[in-house]
Amino acid sequence: MGTISRRQFLVRTAAGTAAFGLLAASSHAAKGVKEIRMSACDWSLDAGGPDGLTVAKDIRLDGLELSAGDAADTLKIADPAYREQYKAAMKSTGVAVSSVAMGFLNGSPLATEPRGVAWLEQTIEATKDLGASVILVAFFGKGDLRKGRQLKEAEIDALVGKLKEAAPKAKASGVILGLENTLSAEQNLHILDRVASDAVRVYYDTGNSTDNDYDVPAEIRMLRDRICQFHFKDGRHYLGEGKVKMKPVAKAIHAIQYKGWIVLETAAPSKDRNADFRKNADYVRELMGIA
């Protein structure tokens, strides 16, 4: 190779720097695909059991949030043979278990149920075994921690005690207990501060919080990394067409640099489940900048 002038050197260096910048940006974008992934609730899909993973694949989702089962001394998800069916389905579909939901707690409240800690421990073990890291711990219906707008203080005291008991096992297992409830961000932070474990966080539902008249973007910014996962829903509407203001929500999620699952708990307005979930998933991908 012959010698080049200083001017040629600078031009080539600038071009190389620009190319490197584009490469770095491309690498970051590729990394971003893994930073936020799309899932859906098996109950919203009406696709319980391991076959739900096939439905999720047909909708072009990355994962499925599965139900732990009904209230019983031994939860269905605690059965190793049952989990093996999920593992086989995960292998054949390439779809992950994003999280495990203890929805049955709405009828058998964790705060007052004597089997509560045992249920948490069973679900922690199962969640770890399935390669997931978040458990949705539900507080609706009978399990609601409010009466009207007033907190049920005695139940919150009992809940804090049970969460403190289960948190060490969750932390050791790499699993997070995500509280999904009707409380405000401030009220949730009060509970988290009392439990004092990063294995207990908030599972934030944008639809529930909007329905409770909370300032959703402000709450997301307030909770920041105390949020372990998100539900997106908006009643009977497609996302972006109802009550929830999705663009400010997306801006807030990006502001806190969230990396994890966004789980669709959406409806099927047209009655074509797969088409409607695809529409919502495509909307979220565009909204969040997911490749």
Helix-helix angle 116-129:153-173, to 10 degrees: 30
pLDDT of residue 34: 53
**Per-residue tokens: 239:** 């996302």
Distance CA 85, CA 101 (A): 18
C-alpha 20: how far from chain center: 34
**Per-residue tokens: 113:** 């149920």
Q: pLDDT tens for residues 120-133?
A: 999 999 999 999 99
Average pLDDT over residues 248-256: 98
Q: pLDDT tens for residues 54-75?
A: 999 999 999 999 999 999 999 9
Q: Please give the single-letter amino acid code of residue 84.
A: E
May I ask the CATH class of domain 35-288? alpha beta
Q: What is the pTM of this model?
A: 0.88
CB contact at 8 A, 111 and 162? yes
Could you state, in order of their start, the residue ranges of all structural domains in the chain?
A: 35-288
